[in-house]
Amino acid sequence: MDRPLLFGQRALVTGSTSGIGLAIARTLLEAGAEVFVHGLVDAVEQERLERDLRLIGPAHFVAGDLSDASAIDGMMAQCGALDILVNNAGIQHTAALADMPAAMWDRILAINLSAVFHTMRLAMPAMAQRGYGRVINIASVHGLVASVNKAPYVAAKHGLLGLTKVAALEYASAGSRQSGGVTANCICPGWVETPLIQPQIDARAAACGGDREAGVRALLSEKQPSLRMSLPEDIAALVLFLCRPEAHNLNGAALPVDGAWTAQ
């Protein structure tokens, strides 16, 4: 019997206790990887997640405050040498530029950008030594275009694209076609149907007489021409493709999954 695609590989997915991150963790486990799941949850939720995910494959929970560089060092040491690093964790706060609290600016930049720098600098040298590695940073459509009232988020996501391009250049020659090489790419989702945005969907559906699909179309109509959301599993499927050996020359890219939002 053929081995699973990612058999013997070790992956870390930050921010993977729900939504896109959890879908990515599940997909990597299903493909045969050993997966470190990360998030800030209580002991009961941690136990539940580990129990459920271990029905799929070897899953381990790691904690770590991504705003603290020393905590990231400890988290990465706990994971050991990684073949796949998916930086998915992120936070958001909306306010006008003049009203954005300075402390919130610092925290969003720390978690959404600086933490990615720290995980990449710790993981990528060993990837280069082995000749295979995949860094996949979940950015956002806001890494490509801006929106009002999101200054730190947009700044961090634009910076994430630049950081990823630098890493792609520095490690482009590592490995070979046979080994799979070392790549760094960004995925830039538009609207994705996650629990985080469910209240917005519910509000629009109520305004449309309880018609959920009409509510979704109304929510997306201003920016996403497809008028339909992606599912977390759609993003996870793209992550899995980027892990394939055939993706060895897909490097330094910002891949929009945005229903033609950025085509406008």
Q: Could you give the residue numbers annotated as active site?
A: 153
What backbone torsions phi and psi does residue 184 show, to the nearest 5 degrees? -135, 125
Residue 148 neighbours by CB under 8 Å, 6+ apart:
96
The answer to whether 259 and 228 are in contact (CB under 8 A) is yes
Are 187 and 257 in contact by the 8 Å Cβ rule? The answer is yes
Task: Answer for the pair 37, 67: CB distance below 8 angstroms, yes or no.
Answer: no
Provide the token pair at 17. 């206790």
CA distance 132 to 232: 26
**What is the end-to-end Cα distance of the chain in Å, rounded?**
47
Helix (H) / strand (E) containing 133: strand 132-138
Backbone phi and psi for residue 37, each to the nearest 5 degrees, phi listed first = -100, 135
Q: Angle formed by the axes of helices 212-220 and 198-207, to 10°?
A: 110
